[in-house]
Structure 1
Amino acid sequence: MGVCSTKNIGNEKRRCDELLNILFWNLKRNAIEDYIIDCIVENNVDIAVFSEFNGINFINIEKNLGKMYGRILAAQDDRKVTLIAKNTFSVTILQQQNRYSIYNVKTAVKDYLLAAVHLEDRRNYKSAERIDTIKRLVADIEQTEELLKCNNTIVIGDLNANPYDEELLSKYAFNAVLFKTIIDKSELTNPNSSKRKRFYNPILHYISEDTEMYGSFYHEKDYMTSYWHCLDQVLVRKSLVNSVNC
């Protein structure tokens, strides 16, 4: 399993391995169908997840990809995220909420649960509001894992939180650890009392000057200090810890 995340053109582009190649892209409402098509073809993307996709002509994208891909739609209108996938995979939407969608992805090798996410932005929402959404998402993931007896779970998207923020680290939110040794030792937080399954967040391993994966920088309006952010992330359950290649 490989996961791939692209935030903007030329920024945070990550190539992945051959088993399941996933692209995430926050399009910022830019109608850049040609760039999307080129990115999918050049990187042999299996599943492409998009947020802030208003104004994108997905029919044109599918047409230019030679009908190799199809958009996965639910009964209700798309909200914050949408997905297109290779027609060689069986992809069904299990649940769709305003800020996330959960999909069942069946390949010839393995079944996955894929949660595509776009959490509340940092300018207009507080951390507590993102955590509230995360709690609902994690509860839905756990219920789906139990129902389908599948723990090959991937969370990908614009989390609008940094790797060390409460949204990622708190056992009452994503409960994500940054080192394989921790989740290898125990998949559960407080295994003897309040048992909460962990996610693994591989981001620190891949942030590097060598690979030009820096995160994002910006200057606060009232300050001269530059702030570093890494808001697009991938989380996986223990069963996929050694399969991630960003």
Structure 2
Amino acid sequence: MKKVVIHINFLFWNLKKNSKSIYCLKDILVENEIDVFILSEVNSRDLIWINQNLINYTPTLQLPKNRTFLFYKNHHLIKKVKDSHYYSFFEILNPSFEKVLLVSVHFPSRLWKRGKEIGYQAQITKRDIVKFETEHRYKHTLVVGDFNLNPFSEEIVSTEGFHAVMSKEVAKKEDRVVDFVKHRYFFNPMWFLHGNINNEVMGSYYYHKSAISYVWNLFDQVLIRPSLIDYFDFEYLNIISSVTGHSLLNKHGQPDSNVYSDHLPIKFRIKFDKKE
């Protein structure tokens, strides 16, 4: 009996409703061998283009007010199991592994909502995830999307938020008790990318106009339950800044929002072992 490694490659991209981004999407999917991609801020006419031109991918059921849209390669088994305005829940079925809960999010924009309002939505979503995990016995959960929060934001790291930590060793303890209440961990691998001077970019979103500025933000993130840490490919995880030799950045080294989007796409991979 031999062991075969099966992987699922994911991509998330906030398109800023820029139709020009759509035309390089196919190249990004091919170059990075993407199996599942999730988009936000995409025009309805661009969704039609995707359905007509990316025939190897199947769209999930869309609702009128959805803020994220998921497409998957036809040989994968993915179904939507719950919807809200700011998130969608999907179940990934894999014969070689236990079922996985995939949550796509796009929280309110900082242009229109205050930080506390975004944080409140993060708390609601985390509570809904925990409730759904408990009711349907999910152990393996990953959350991906545009959080409009940084990895260090209070709503990402706090127990009332996602309780997402940067340490694999801490996360693998599964949970901790604070004020007599047990809270499960998420692990946040995005810390490895935020502010990393060895990369071409130090975040997925550039903003340097406010008095308090982090310059590079990493609003686009993936969080995983500790049970998925050993199945997560840290070498594949990245912020995509170019495709087929063409840069997604402008001459200043910032996301080119005129040609593409003000956000850069992120990619990540989950690997499973299958015995044959």
Partner of 1:118: 106
The answer to whether the Cα contact below 8 Å between 1:220 and 1:226 also exists between their aligned partners in 2 is no
Matched, 1:105 2:92: yes
- C-alpha displacement of 1:224: 9.6
Count of residue pairs brought into register by the alignment: 226
- Equivalent position of 2:180 in the other structure: 193
TM-score between the two structures when normalised by the length of structure 2: 0.75
Indicate yes or no: 2:151 matched with 1:166.
no
Contact 2:193 2:202 in 1 (8 A): no
Shift in CA distance, 115/225, structure 1 to aligned 2, threshold 3 Å: closer
Residue in 2 that maps onto 1:41: 30
Tell me the secondary structure at the aligned position of residue 126 of structure 2. helix
- 2:207 is matched with 218
- Unpaired stretches in structure 1, ≥5 consecutive residues: 1-16
Deviations 1:127-186 (A, max 9, x none): 2212221222112212222233221101001111111111111100111111111112x2
Secondary structure, in 3 states, of the residue corresponding to 1:173?
coil
Counterpart amino acid of residue 57 in structure 1:
D
Give the structure, 1 or 2, with the largest relative contact order (CA under 8 Å, sep 6 or more). 2
Judge conservation of contact 2:185–2:225 (CA < 8 Å) in 1: yes
Cα distance in 1 for partners of 2:206, 2:179 equals 41
What is the rounded CA distance, in whole Å, between the counterparts of 2:214 and 2:102 in structure 1?
A: 34
Residue identity matched to 1:91: I
Match of 2:14 in 1: 26
Q: CA deviation at 1:50?
A: 0.6
SS at match of 1:88: coil
Where in structure 1 do 4 or more consecutive aligned residues deviate above 4 Å? Answer: 223-226
1:235 deviates by: 0.3
User: C-alpha separation between the residues in 2 aligned to 1:164 and 1:191?
Assistant: 19
Between the aligned residues of both structures, percent identity stands at: 30
TM-score where L is the length of structure 1: 0.84
> Residues 82-139 of structure 1, C-alpha deviation per residue, up to 9 Å, x if partnerless?
1111111111111111111111111343321111011111232122212221222112
Partner SS for 1:125: coil
Question: 2:8, 2:87 → 1: CA distance?
Answer: 20
Contact persistence 2:41–2:68 (CA under 8 A):
yes
Listed as ranges, the gaps of 5+ residues in structure 2 are 238-276
Distance in 1 between the 2:115 and 2:228 partners? 28
| Greater per-residue strand proportion | 2
Structure 1 partner of 2:169: 181
1:199-230 per-residue CA deviation (whole Å, 9 max, x = no partner) reads: 00011223433332411332225x59663311
